[in-house]
Amino acid sequence: MAPNIPGSSPSNLPAAGKAKSSRGNRADALVTLLATIGIAVVLNALLTQSNVRADLTEQGIHTLSPASVKAATDLEGVTITAYISKKLPETVPVPGGGKMALKGIERAFRDKLEEYAAASGGKVKLIYAEDNNPGIGTIEEQAEAAKLEPFSSSEAQLAGSELKFARYAMGATFHYQTVHEVLPKALQLGFLEFEITKILLRLKEKHEAAQVQKEPLAQGKAVFEAVKACTELVQKKGKVEDAKDEGAAGLSLKGSTDPTQKRLEGLQAAKEDIAKTCGQVATALSAATKLRGKSQFGDQLLTNAEQFKSISDELLQYISGKAEEAKDKPKQAAMAVTQLSSMLEEFFREVDRAHTNLADSPGRKVVGFLCGHDEFCPFAEQEPLFPEQAAMMMGQNNPMMKQIVQAATQIAQGIDDTNSRIGDNLFTRRGYSIRRVAADEPIPAEISALIVYAPRRALSEYTSYQLDQFLVAGKPVVLFAQEWDAAVMNMAPAEDLAQEMRLDYTNIAPSGSNLQDWLRPYGVDLKRELTMDSKHVENIKLMKLVNRGGLQFQTQQDFPYALIPVATKFDRSHPLSKSLESLPLPYPTSVEPSAELAKDSRFEVVKILQSSESSLKKTPPLPLLPPALKEWVLKEQPTGPHTLALYVRGPFKSAFSGKELPKRPEKQQTDPSRPPEKVSANDPEMQKRTFKSEGAGKLLVVASNLGIEGLSRGAVLKGFDMSKMAQFSAEIIKEYQGWNANFQNWQIRIGQVSHLLGDNLQFLTNVIDWSTSHEALVEIRSKGDSRRPLQQLQDGEAKNLRIGALLAGPLLLIAAGLLRWRLRKSRHAALRV
Amino acid sequence: MNAVLTLARRELAATFDSPIAYIAGAVFLVVTGLLFFFGHDGTADFFAAREATLRPLFEYAPWVMAVILPAVTMRLVAEEKKSGTLELLVTLPITDLQIVMGKLLGAIGFLAVTLAATLVFPIAVATIGHPDLGAVAGGYVGLLLIGVAFLSLGLLTSTWTHNQIIAFIVGLLLCVFFWTATDALLKVAFDRPPLALQLLSFKTQFDDFTKGVVDLRNVVYFLSVSAVAVIGSVYSLQSRHWK
């Protein structure tokens, strides 16, 4: 053992010790110790660049999946530029007021990027943006320019005499050929692999699609560049400098003190330049023939650019003094120019946004959400609740009515805002392209997959037919079913006007969905009984009134809830359930394949999610309050497992085969003053419709809304009727109170299952990825955040388990000690003998 | 090597012949168990969190180890010095390094037995859920490595003094310092601790193990600390010849 270490010589050899002076020994020891420390430091420092590790987790959570490795090796010549601030804060604020610690996040991010670069075999090049390079600014400035999302720390820092929140960056840009993508913020460690692989896959799709759409994209870029050049020139020439800087850039004229006048004079001085540069917008617009009518974003870009052009034309009129309204009125002209300049900037921003979307659109798949049946529809309504004129008329004679109209409008606005926020935050910002599919309208051709999310009103024959055709055409249809409307401790709807609202309304009623009927022809049996469980359940959060010192407080309490069973059985062959460990499903029913479908070998039938053996099915009425329900469920005989999500793939036959094709219903107008919109007998959509009898379709049915309840005007403003509103009555006030309660009840119900929404939204986004053929992403995301729940323990079980585990170790140790003591004692006794 | 193993066996036997091993072991298991089930302030409830994870165990066990392990190592050399048996030991045909390694291995034996007794927690969790066994294994590898580092530091302090209490207190301070190097102590001294000092923290180096990742950098770090402490202990023993 280390014979060279001076201290390692046998201690009983006195000659060795005495040969050296004590000072020499001390010096030797010090040198060896310092050398050891030095070696340790160097070794550790050298290893900071290494990435040798073993991932022991069952699903290899911290190792790149084969899909990620493939994504990295599929592209030749990707450059990743990482932007990482030199000093990151300890915590960053998170929505809802909390803080997220950033400890170790930088190292994990670097490791992950390096893992991709290493896995690509040299195809992915990784570079780190450097700080304070001359001319390119700090890392944070570079990140901002590269369209990353810099973030602030939780704590402000003192900068001079001011408290400032410093800005930090941690993200990357990915370049491949002519396309690029951005990872704006890499703070979610669990999903880093998902995000990076998603970007790599997207780069590939985008590049391929961009090759096909080269011309329209180039035309869109030309329009954008022309608009940008015009805006920049107008900004530059119309810039009003401070008095001190006058004359420096020649942008302001001496003698004028009024900034609007100064701007006008500056622009007038450069009117020829402006006319020439802004004239390019018209040229680019007229050349954009391949862009028009080809895509939503292309049309948006052109519309905004056309509006931009008309404003710039008007501006030129004022600058050149040709505007009739301002002839010989310099003050008015100056004001108009200021206004038009700011409008120009506004439209430039719109053009910029549309161009960004257009440049990003190639290869992006569009997912449709069916709307119009009180389902989850993450979009604002397209029409106002009250047409402007009607609202004014209704409030004219009755101030009370005016108030109700205003309040109802506010509720409708609240619903719209909430839905658009949900759509934006959950989908658009995460890179999904989603589109509203209106009821009784044809499904747009651009839709790649359709989601019908828990409708609570029946689908019309026409909509059913549209879905049928979408399915048999081989496109994925995903249905989330909500067969019951459950209210547990909700706001009680007002029974009379004098009554105060209470928080004890508990009720369950069938929803008005007809998904069961729609599914039957395809061999899928959506059951109406509710599925519940006694052991594998999640909690519900209920508000409770607590009396403390004579004062009543509202507190929230968690109750294990049998009507939120946790799916515990998963088919590991399906990407959606391959890596799942659990999924709580509020108020689910169940779904089974019919006997014929199960036997039909042409169909692939997969029971994706199943409840546990301890689950059972019952049709209401049943006790809904958690303790009573628990007691009730324990008395019932378990009948599980039950299928909670079913996937069927195969050559579906149209349910409308041999039937007369349903006609498109007439569109109802909310504005009573306008006649209903008639659908012409020569409806072009009807004309071009070709009947598809069979095709290989993908159908996924989930027997729950995952706790994500739709917020819609129909569900909140129940009984809303414009004609009734025109005549004021006490009934309307009562109805209005009901609307208020409905809106609050939606919030209450979402709050009751808010703790489940994180996991369930992951499942929803997985479903979207799966439906748009990004199955590899599903697997990667699932492994990033797979919760492993404990089963529900009955009273006393947890206590016994806890005591058992606490005492078992020490008791074992003591027992071993006693045994050892006894053995020693008997050995000593034997020796004595 | 044989000499080291013989000495290690002797040390381990001596440890388990004394009640201190059982007291320290039982205290470790009970305190770790309480922290695992109730959290550090008694308000957390493992069963209420409803998640089949051993993370709380790996979060709290190093704290308890930082206190308990110096109590185990305090006697290793200090007691021998005080009772004079160290002189007897050094007359044997073994090197100081072998003495130190033997004593350390004996203490590691105690650590292994105690850690094995904590397996009741994953077993209890596995009866009512499906914890990620890979992550559990990673956590245990981490606990073993951090435990070895604590023992080495404790052994080092035990070589510095005749007094077991002083050895314990200094060992405890060293272990706690290394465990929370950035999180508590350095915060007082630095607005933002330098990266090198952050990496000095056992906690930073231990994090990956709790996720189920055994990273060479972390393994080498703990082994480096242990190696430096072992070499330090050898020279500390050698210092008796320097007077």
- The end-to-end CA distance of chain B, in Å, is 30
In a 10 Å sphere around its CB, with 0-12 CB exposed, 13-18 middle and 19+ buried, how is residue A680 labelled?
exposed
pLDDT of residue A499: 65
pLDDT bracket for residue A769 (50, 70, 90):
confident
Residue B41 corresponds to which tokens in the numbers above? 């302030």
pLDDT bracket for residue A833 (50, 70, 90):
low
Which site among A26, A788, A794, A821 would you substitute to test the B interface, given the most B Cβ atoms closer than 10 Å to its Cβ? A788
pLDDT bracket for residue A679 (50, 70, 90):
very low
Give the separation between CA A553 and CA B151, rounded to whole angstroms.
Answer: 52
- The residues pairing with A82 across neighbouring beta strands, listed in sequence order, are A128, A172
Q: Is residue A236 part of a domain?
A: yes
* pLDDT beyond 70 at A244: no
Helix or strand (DSSP H, E) at A101: strand A99-101
Output the CA torsion A451→A456→A460→A466 (10° steps): 0
| Last residue within a domain, chosen from A337, A360, A383 | A360
CATH number at residue A244: 1.20.1420
Give the separation between CA A157 and CA A164, rounded to whole angstroms.
Answer: 5
Give the separation between CA A830 and CA A545, rounded to whole angstroms.
Answer: 72
* pLDDT beyond 90 at A624: yes
Whether A788 has its CB under 8 Å from any CB of chain B: the answer is yes
pLDDT in tens, A156-181: 776 677 777 788 999 999 999 888 88
Verify whether the Cβ–Cβ distance A40 to B242 is below 8 Å: no
Tell me the C-alpha to C-alpha distance, in Å, between residue A804 and each of B54, B57, B127.
Answer: 17, 16, 12
CB distance A312 to A273 below 8 Å: no
**Using the 8-state DSSP alphabet, how is residue A176 labeled?**
E
| Last residue within a domain, chosen from A183, A212, A241 | A212
Three-state secondary-structure class, residue A796: coil
Verify whether the Cβ–Cβ distance B238 to A810 is below 8 Å: no
pLDDT of residue A15: 45
pLDDT in tens, A49-70: 777 889 898 878 888 888 899 9
- In this structure, the number of other CB atoms found within 10 A of the CB of residue A599 comes to 11
Give the separation between CA B83 and CA B75, rounded to whole angstroms.
Answer: 11
* Least Cα separation, residue B85 to chain A (angstroms): 14
Sign of CA dihedral B8, B13, B14, B20: positive
CB distance A437 to A443 below 8 Å: yes
Of A697, A455, A474, A515, the C-alpha closest to A597 is A697
Which site among A783, A813, A825 would you substitute to test the B interface, given the most B Cβ atoms closer than 10 Å to its Cβ? A813
* φ, ψ (nearest 5 deg) of residue A543: -80, 140
Q: Is residue A507 part of a domain?
A: yes
Verify whether the Cβ–Cβ distance B234 to A47 is below 8 Å: no
pLDDT of residue A8: 47
Residue A285 corresponds to which tokens in the numbers above? 């617009």
CB distance A677 to A666 below 8 Å: yes
Output the CA torsion A544→A550→A551→A557 (10° steps): -20
* Least Cα separation, residue B163 to chain A (angstroms): 23
Portion 92-151 of A in contact with B at CB < 8 A: 103-104
Mean pLDDT rounded to a whole number for chain A: 83
CB distance A787 to B130 below 8 Å: no
Render the burial of A183-220: b for 16+ CB within 10 Å, e for the rest.
bbbbbebebbbbbbbbbbbbbbebbeebeebeebbebb
Mean pLDDT within B209-234: 93
Contact list in A for residue B134 (CB cut-off 8 A) is 55-58
Whether B177 has its CB under 8 Å from any CB of chain A: the answer is no
pLDDT in tens, B143-190: 999 999 999 999 999 999 989 999 999 999 999 988 887 666 666 666
State how many domains chain A has. Answer: 4
Verify whether the Cβ–Cβ distance A824 to B17 is below 8 Å: yes
Residue A117 sits in the same domain as residue A161? yes
Give the separation between CA A779 and CA A570, rounded to whole angstroms.
Answer: 14
Residue B100 corresponds to which tokens in the numbers above? 């130190």
Lowest-confidence region among A200-209, A477-486, A724-733, B55-64: A724-733
Residue A342 sits in the same domain as residue A473? no
- The residues pairing with A330 across neighbouring beta strands, listed in sequence order, are none
* pLDDT beyond 60 at A686: no
Mean pLDDT within A633-650: 93
* pLDDT beyond 60 at A18: no
The half-sphere exposure of A637 on its side-chain side, counting CA atoms within 13 A, is 1
| Unique residue bearing structure tokens 């090796």 | A73
pLDDT of residue A253: 44
Residue A15 sits in the same domain as residue A129? no
* pLDDT beyond 70 at A636: yes
pLDDT of residue B184: 66
Q: Is residue A789 part of a domain?
A: no
* pLDDT beyond 80 at A709: yes
Residue A822 corresponds to which tokens in the numbers above? 């006894």
Of residues A494 and B167, more confidence is placed in B167
The percent of residues above 70 in pLDDT, for chain A, comes to 87
The half-sphere exposure of A310 on its side-chain side, counting CA atoms within 13 A, is 5
The half-sphere exposure of A335 on its side-chain side, counting CA atoms within 13 A, is 6
pLDDT of residue A555: 82
Residue A483 sits in the same domain as residue A451? yes
Residue A632 sits in the same domain as residue A745? yes
Helix or strand (DSSP H, E) at A366: strand A366-371
CB distance A790 to B129 below 8 Å: yes
Of A614, A816, A812, A814, the C-alpha closest to B121 is A812
Verify whether the Cβ–Cβ distance A33 to B231 is below 8 Å: yes
* pLDDT beyond 70 at A685: no
Render the burial of A319-348: b for 16+ CB within 10 Å, e for the rest.
beeebeebeeeeeebbbbbbebbebbeebb
pLDDT in tens, A431-445: 788 999 999 888 988
- In this structure, the number of other CB atoms found within 10 A of the CB of residue B9 comes to 14
pLDDT of residue B243: 62
Q: Is residue A518 part of a domain?
A: yes
* Least Cα separation, residue A426 to chain B (angstroms): 25
Mean pLDDT within A98-105: 77
What is the bridge-based pairing of β-strands A124-128 and A78-84?
Answer: parallel
pLDDT in tens, A276-322: 999 999 999 998 888 887 777 888 889 999 999 999 999 888 888 87
Residue A231 sits in the same domain as residue A167? no
The half-sphere exposure of B211 on its side-chain side, counting CA atoms within 13 A, is 24
Whether B194 has its CB under 8 Å from any CB of chain A: the answer is no
Residue A232 sits in the same domain as residue A335? yes
**Using the 8-state DSSP alphabet, how is residue A430 labeled?**
G
* pLDDT beyond 80 at A33: yes
CB distance A557 to A752 below 8 Å: no
Lowest-confidence region among A328-337, A748-757, A786-795: A786-795
| Cα A730 versus chain centre, distance | 43
**Option in B113, B121, B137 nearest A805 (CB):** B121
* Least Cα separation, residue B18 to chain A (angstroms): 9
* pLDDT beyond 60 at A251: no
Give the separation between CA B34 and CA B39, rounded to whole angstroms.
Answer: 7
Verify whether the Cβ–Cβ distance B217 to A44 is below 8 Å: yes
pLDDT in tens, B91-146: 788 888 999 999 999 999 999 999 999 999 999 999 988 899 999 999 999 999 99
- In this structure, the number of other CB atoms found within 10 A of the CB of residue A121 comes to 10
Contact list in A for residue B99 (CB cut-off 8 A) is 11
Of residues B162 and A793, more confidence is placed in B162
Give the separation between CA B139 and CA B210, rounded to whole angstroms.
Answer: 4
Give the separation between CA A225 and CA A217, rounded to whole angstroms.
Answer: 12
| Last residue within a domain, chosen from A784, A807, A822 | A784
State which residues form the domain around A115: 66-212
Mean pLDDT within B199-216: 87
- The residues pairing with A479 across neighbouring beta strands, listed in sequence order, are A452, A701
Question: A258: which residues sit within 8 A by CB, 6+ positions away?
Answer: A334
Residue B177 corresponds to which tokens in the numbers above? 């310092």
Verify whether the Cβ–Cβ distance A40 to B227 is below 8 Å: yes
**Option in B22, B212, B237 nearest A62 (CB):** B212
Residue A228 sits in the same domain as residue A293? yes
**Option in A8, A56, A57 nearest B97 (CB):** A8
In a 10 Å sphere around its CB, with 0-12 CB exposed, 13-18 middle and 19+ buried, how is residue B68 labelled?
buried
- In this structure, the number of other CB atoms found within 10 A of the CB of residue A156 comes to 12
Which site among B50, B198, B213, B214 would you substitute to test the A interface, given the most A Cβ atoms closer than 10 Å to its Cβ? B50
Before A575, cis peptide (omega within 30)? no
Residue A101 sits in the same domain as residue A190? yes
**DSSP codes, A215-276:** HHHHHHHHHHHHHHHHHHHHHHHT----GGGTTSSS-S-TT---HHHHHHHHHHHTHHHHHH
Contact list in B for residue A12 (CB cut-off 8 A) is 90-93
Q: Is residue A680 part of a domain?
A: no
pLDDT in tens, A697-706: 899 999 999 9
Mean pLDDT within A612-619: 94
Q: Which residue of B has its CA nearest to A88?
A: B192
**Using the 8-state DSSP alphabet, how is residue A104 labeled?**
T
- In this structure, the number of other CB atoms found within 10 A of the CB of residue A781 comes to 24
Q: Which residue of B has its CA nearest to A39?
A: B224
pLDDT of residue A153: 78
pLDDT of residue A750: 92
Q: What pTM did the predictor assign?
A: 0.69
Give the separation between CA A790 and CA A793, rounded to whole angstroms.
Answer: 8
Portion 14-43 of A in contact with B at CB < 8 A: 17, 22, 25-26, 29, 32-33, 36-37, 40, 43
Lowest-confidence region among A9-18, A160-169, A211-220: A9-18
Give the separation between CA A704 and CA A610, rounded to whole angstroms.
Answer: 12
Residue A609 sits in the same domain as residue A693? yes
Between A and B, how many CB-CB pairs are < 8 A? Answer: 200
pLDDT of residue A246: 43
Tell me the C-alpha to C-alpha distance, in Å, between residue A475 and each of A317, A450, A505, A764, A779.
Answer: 53, 8, 42, 18, 21
* Sheet strands (E) in A597-722: 604-610, 615-618, 643-653, 694-702
Residue A534 sits in the same domain as residue A606? yes
- In this structure, the number of other CB atoms found within 10 A of the CB of residue A529 comes to 16
CB distance A748 to A543 below 8 Å: yes
**Option in B26, B137, B224 nearest A44 (CB):** B224
Helix or strand (DSSP H, E) at B223: helix B216-238
The half-sphere exposure of A307 on its side-chain side, counting CA atoms within 13 A, is 15
Verify whether the Cβ–Cβ distance A17 to B241 is below 8 Å: yes
What is the bridge-based pairing of β-strands A170-176 and A179-183?
Answer: antiparallel
Give the separation between CA A729 and CA A300, rounded to whole angstroms.
Answer: 45
Residue A256 sits in the same domain as residue A354? yes
Residue A625 corresponds to which tokens in the numbers above? 């309050």
